[in-house]
């Protein structure tokens, strides 16, 4: 089990974060939340990476708009999450990600994100040089910046039946980024990696996790 810590971004903003794993673990990872906050599911994801030998920090990105926000998976929860995200400037979110990386140390650090966090993992790879590897699961909005240049190896995962991310977006990213590993999972929808959502797909999750861990191990 992990613990809640407090971090400070470069602009002086203090925010909470969930930390799991040993500080002397050979690999470090920033885990980036869905649009629902660092809730029970995200803490479970962090604990899983800690069990796999990672030192993990998941920043509470919503703290800039509302401290302690943890949402469920209903329609109103999603709307609330979108509202909170809309109150936070992209550069502020990136500052929180970089502060989390700094808290992990100065070795090779990876970043992995889900949903909103998947797009933020892409932002971390293209808008900074802090990360040695980036993984995004069903990151919406990546297509809008598909021509950006990644500063580290990137791996992306999408569901073939995602009702938030059209396959035309995935195709556009693939065409723009031929060196990026992109996997599409048949029968999987948006949020397929979250066991607390109706869209959970155990088979796709297991394969995506296996690929993510192999990718991170190779690059970190």
State residue 106's pLDDT score: 81
The pLDDT of 124-143, averaged and rounded, is: 97
Mean pLDDT (the chain) is 97
> Does residue 7 register a pLDDT over 90?
yes
Residue 139 pLDDT: 97
Tell me: the pLDDT tens digits for 18-45? Answer: 999 999 999 999 999 999 999 999 999 9
Q: What number is the average pLDDT over the span 188-209?
A: 97
Mean pLDDT of 59-82: 96
140-183 per-position pLDDT tens digit: 999 999 999 999 999 999 999 999 999 999 999 999 999 999 99
- pLDDT of amino acid 1: 80
Q: How confident is the model at residue 113 (pLDDT cuts 50, 70, 90)?
A: very high
Residues marked active site are found at 115, 162, 190
CA angle 145, 147, 35 (to 5 degrees): 25
Q: Average pLDDT in the 192-220 region?
A: 97
The model's pTM is: 0.98
Question: What proportion of the chain, given as a percentage, has pLDDT over 70?
Answer: 100
| Cα-Cα-Cα-Cα dihedral sign, residues 21, 112, 156, 139 | positive
- The two tokens of residue 36 are 């629902």
Give one DSSP letter per residue of 47-94, joined into a string.
Answer: HHHHHTTEEEEEE-GGGGTSTT----SSHHHHHHHHHHHHTS-HHHHH
**Yes or no: is domain 3-219 CATH 3.40.50.300?**
no
What is the SS3 assignment for 32? Answer: strand
């Amino acid at each position: 089990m992990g613990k809640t810590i407090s971090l400070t971004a470069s602009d002086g903003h203090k925010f909470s974060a969930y930390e799991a794993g040993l500080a002397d673990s050979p690999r470090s990872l920033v885990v980036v939340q869905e649009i629902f906050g660092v809730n029970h599911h995200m803490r479970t994801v962090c604990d899983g990476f800690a069990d796999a030998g990672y030192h993990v920090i998941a920043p509470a990105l919503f703290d800039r708009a509302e401290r302690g926000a943890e949402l469920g998976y209903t329609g109103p929860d999603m709307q609330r999450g979108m509202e909170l995200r809309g109150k936070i400037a992209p550069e502020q979110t990136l500052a929180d990600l970089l502060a989390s990386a700094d808290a992990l140390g100065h070795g090779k650090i990876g970043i992995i994100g889900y949903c909103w966090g998947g797009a933020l993992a892409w932002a971390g790879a293209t808008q900074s040089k802090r990360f040695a590897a980036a993984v995004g699961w069903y990151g919406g909005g990546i297509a809008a910046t598909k021509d950006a240049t990644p500063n580290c190896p990137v791996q992306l995962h999408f569901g073939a039946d995602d009702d938030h991310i059209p396959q035309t977006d995935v195709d556009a990213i693939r065409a723009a980024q031929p060196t990026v590993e992109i996997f599409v999972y048949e029968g999987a929808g948006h949020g397929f990696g979250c066991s607390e959502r109706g869209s959970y797909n155990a088979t796709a999750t297991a394969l995506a996790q296996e690929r993510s861990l192999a990718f991170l191990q190779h690059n970190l």
